[in-house]
Amino acid sequence: MTQPFRGTAPSPAAPGAARRWRAPLLAVVCAALAAGCGIRTTSVPVDAGPAPSRVSCAVPDSPRATTASASATVSASASASVSASTPAPAPSAAESVVTVYLVCSSQVADVHRAVALAGLTRLGTAVALLRELQQRLGMTEATAGFGTAVQGDLAVEGPHPGDPRDALRLSAPLSELPPFALAQVVCTYAADPSLSSGGSVVLGGSDNTQVRRYTCTSDLRTDPGAAETAGTAVK
């Protein structure tokens, strides 16, 4: 049975008084907790960026292309590491397995493709690989998070007068190319033994500035913005 209330009934002013002392106490407790966690208060909104997204940067084995990498959680301000490890696709008699570099997780990562290169000259190989970077990606690569920054109207030609014999010239000044695009071209050409020497490639632009020797370093792959200052001048 419920016992009857035997205490003293609260006065009408009691609820208001309780609220008056509870509010300051709550503010003190919250401030203490924030200070204990190392949180500094701010009077303006803080933009922490978009929520992390997950992309695989891995394309399942297929006749068209394949790559493998560690799944990575990435944000707009941090890139995930990518490492290729799966076997390349089996090419047909007229095709060769080549490595092209695409954009994924704010860096460039390698993808293996079967491309018809038989009988092509050195310049022909450079043209074919550039087209691989320009073409629209298939559903599998796009779903895995890949993309390309190489514009469709970019072309490549052989050395200009005075250039080294192994130089390649792009149809735009290198300084005007998006950093991701230049990183893609450098790494793709450097990966082909017929275009590179010791893992580096000599590139120039359409403005007849001095050609430069580029190497596809880990810094260039993980920070394509470094392409703007990469390379050493070749006389």
| Domain housing 73 | 56-233
The pLDDT score that the predictor gives to residue 228 is 75
CA–CA gap between residue 38 and residue 215 (Å, rounded):
44
Within-domain flag for 92: yes
CB proximity list for 104: less than 8 A, separation 6 or greater: 55, 57, 69, 82, 144, 145, 146, 147
b vs e for 156-191, b when ≥16 Cβ sit within 10 Å of the residue's Cβ? beebeeebeebbbbbebebeebbbbbbbbbbbbbbb
The pLDDT score that the predictor gives to residue 31 is 43
10-residue block means of pLDDT along the chain (235 residues)? 41 46 43 40 33 61 38 30 42 80 93 92 97 92 93 96 96 93 96 94 93 93 82 87
Residue ranges of alpha helices (H) inside the chain are 14-36, 122-134, 139-143, 179-190, 218-222
pTM of the entire predicted model? 0.66
The pLDDT score that the predictor gives to residue 46 is 30
The pLDDT score that the predictor gives to residue 229 is 81
Within-domain flag for 11: no
**How far is residue 233 CA from its own chain's centroid?**
27
The pLDDT score that the predictor gives to residue 208 is 83
The pLDDT score that the predictor gives to residue 60 is 66
Within-domain flag for 18: no
The pLDDT score that the predictor gives to residue 78 is 29
Within-domain flag for 20: no
Number of other CB atoms surrounding residue 116 within 10 Å: 13
Within-domain flag for 193: yes
Within-domain flag for 145: yes
SS3 state at 72: strand
Within-domain flag for 38: no
Within-domain flag for 162: yes
Q: What's the chain's Rg over C-alpha atoms?
A: 29
| Number of domains forming the structure of the chain | 1
